[in-house]
Structure 1
Amino acid sequence: MAQLIVLGVADRDTADRALDIASDLNRQQLLRLDDAAYAYKDDKGRPRIHQTFSTTGAGAAGGALWGTLIGLIFLNPLLGLAVGAATGAVAGRLTDIGIDDDMIKEIGAHLEGGRAAVFLLADITTADRVIDAYRPLEPTVLRTNLSKDDERELVEALRS
């Protein structure tokens, strides 16, 4: 089962590095990354979100494929492509999978100057190696869906 872990980091660049680490750990099969994102505040103090998976793009691609196939049936593949891509993009935009966007926005709104929050939804297979990879970033655990004991162990392991 995937665990949600929200880490507070120093800044947006550190959040980018955290997502790079997650991607690398995923390639090494030390964790199975289902979704990842980070939130930060821009120069004007507005919360911003960086998602790693775009449902809009995936919806548009799927819609374009189906639209083209349907267009071929009705002898107008270009119209089918255009309508399918537009419909798929709208459907993808309205779809929320993985990490809850409202939670990301809520935590992002409470960030202090310059800090960022990294959101990882992953099934961690080798916890000690994942913790070792993140320890240099000096993150703080903001929220998890782990048990209290597991969360306490995570907090202590990241501090070591």
Structure 2
Amino acid sequence: MSDLIVLGFDHVDDAAKVLTECRVLQKEYLLDLEDAVVVTRDAQGKVHLHQSVNLEKAGASWGLLSGGFWGALVGLLCLNPLAGFLIGSAVGAGAGALSGKFSDYGIDDGFIKQLSDTIPPNTSALFILVRKSQPEKVLADLSQFKGHARILQTSLSPEAEEKLKAALGQVAAAQAKA
């Protein structure tokens, strides 16, 4: 089962920096991300979602290939495979992009938009869906962002959430407030 972690940041570019570090950890096989979304809110209050998986592009690519194949096959039967390939490719790419636009993968977009409405202007948030990880090594690496991130929401166990708070420097801040 995957775990959802939502981190908030005081600067617009901090969430992208943490996602870049998570991708480095993923290349080292310490973290397995299912989905990640960087959310920024500009000075005017407009929310921007930056999805890590572009479903429109993936759908268009797949549609181009499959449409081209089937178009060439039908065109071959009609003695004009080139026209069939071109028409099939165009129709397939359009249909694939359209299906990708209306698809949702990983973290629910409605949930992202709902939680994103709570972040203040000129800040950012990082939504990550983690399949599996090496928690000790990941937390040690993410401790470089101590004091820059705060946990907005998580599906982690209470013990794992406390370890994440400690790595991000939130435990000391919470104890100081008490």
- TM-score class normalised by the smaller sequence: over 0.9
Please list every run of 5 or more consecutive structure 1 residues that lacks an aligned counterpart in the other structure.
none
Give the 5 Å matches for 1:17-32. 17-32=17-32
1: CA distance, partners of 2:53 / 2:12: 18
Confirm or deny that 1:39 pairs with 2:39.
yes
Report if aligned partners of 2:142, 2:167 keep a CA contact under 8 Å in 1: no
Report the RMSD for the aligned CA atoms in angstroms.
Answer: 1.4
2: CA distance, partners of 1:38 / 1:80: 35
Report if aligned partners of 1:46, 1:109 keep a CA contact under 8 Å in 2: no
Deviations 1:31-55 (A, max 9, x none): 1111111111123111111111101
Deviates more, 1:139-148 or 1:55-64: 139-148
Structure 1 partner of 2:98: 90
Report if aligned partners of 1:65, 1:81 keep a CA contact under 8 Å in 2: yes
1: CA distance, partners of 2:132 / 2:63: 33
Secondary structure, aligned partner of 1:142? strand
Give runs of ≥4 in structure 1 deviating > 6 Å. Answer: none
Instruction: Count residues with an aligned counterpart.
Output: 160
Report if aligned partners of 2:42, 2:121 keep a CA contact under 8 Å in 1: no
Give the 5 Å matches for 1:7-156. 7-75=7-75, 76-137=84-145, 138-156=148-166
2: CA distance, partners of 1:12 / 1:19: 13
% identity of equivalent residues:
34
- Deviation of 1:112 (Å): 1.3
2: CA distance, partners of 1:72 / 1:113: 51
Q: TM-score, normalised by structure 2?
A: 0.84
Which of these two proteins has the greater Rg computed from alpha carbons?
A: 2
- Deviation of 1:135 (Å): 2.1
Q: TM-score, normalised by structure 1?
A: 0.93
Report if aligned partners of 2:63, 2:93 keep a CA contact under 8 Å in 1: yes
Deviations 1:71-101 (A, max 9, x none): 0111110000000000000111111011111
1: CA distance, partners of 2:144 / 2:133: 20
Letter aligned with residue 87 of structure 1: A
